[in-house]
Structure 1
Amino acid sequence: MVGSVTAVSSNGEYSFTKPNRESVTLLAGLGVEGDVHAGVTVKHRSRIAQDPTQPNLRQVHLVQEELFAEVGAAGFEVAPGDLGENITTRGIDLLGLPAGTLLRIGDEAVLEVTGLRNPCRQIDNFSDGLLKQVAGRDEAGNIVRKAGIMSIVKEGGVVRPGDVVQADLPSGPHRPLKRV
Structure 2
Amino acid sequence: METLDRVLVTLEGGIAGDYRGGMKGKPYRRQVTLIERGDWTAALAEIDADIPWQERRANLLIDGLDLPQTRGVRLRIGDDVVLEITRETDPCERMDTLAPGLERALLPDWRGGACAMVIQGGTIAVGDAIRIET
Max radius of gyration: which structure? 1
User: Match for residue 35 of structure 1?
Assistant: 18
Question: Is contact 2:10–2:16 with CA below 8 Å preserved after alignment?
Answer: yes
User: Match for residue 71 of structure 2?
Assistant: 99
Amino acid at match of 1:30: G
The 1:145–1:166 alpha-carbon spacing in structure 2 relative to 1, beyond 3 Å, is closer
User: Match for residue 165 of structure 1?
Assistant: 130
What SS does structure 2 have at the residue aligned with 1:81?
A: helix
Question: Is contact 2:40–2:112 with CA below 8 Å preserved after alignment?
Answer: no
The 1:103–1:23 alpha-carbon spacing in structure 2 relative to 1, beyond 3 Å, is same
| Shift of residue 55, structure 1, vs aligned partner | 5.2
User: Match for residue 146 of structure 1?
Assistant: 111
The 1:134–1:58 alpha-carbon spacing in structure 2 relative to 1, beyond 3 Å, is same
Aligned CA RMSD, in angstroms, stands at 1.8
Matched, 1:21 2:4: yes
The answer to which structure has the higher helix fraction is 2
How many percent identity over aligned positions?
Answer: 27
User: Match for residue 175 of structure 1?
Assistant: none
Question: Is contact 2:34–2:115 with CA below 8 Å preserved after alignment?
Answer: yes
Aligned residue among 32, 40, 46 for 1:68: 40
| Shift of residue 19, structure 1, vs aligned partner | 1.6
User: Match for residue 80 of structure 2?
Assistant: 108
Question: Is contact 2:36–2:111 with CA below 8 Å preserved after alignment?
Answer: no
User: Match for residue 124 of structure 1?
Assistant: 96
**What is the rounded CA distance, in whole Å, between the counterparts of 2:105 and 2:116 in structure 1?**
22
| TM-score (ref. length: structure 1) | 0.67
Unaligned runs of 5+ in 1: 1-17, 42-52, 137-143, 170-180
The 1:102–1:59 alpha-carbon spacing in structure 2 relative to 1, beyond 3 Å, is same
| TM-score (ref. length: structure 2) | 0.88
Matched, 1:79 2:22: no
**More displaced, 126-135 or 100-109?**
126-135
What SS does structure 2 have at the residue aligned with 1:20?
A: coil
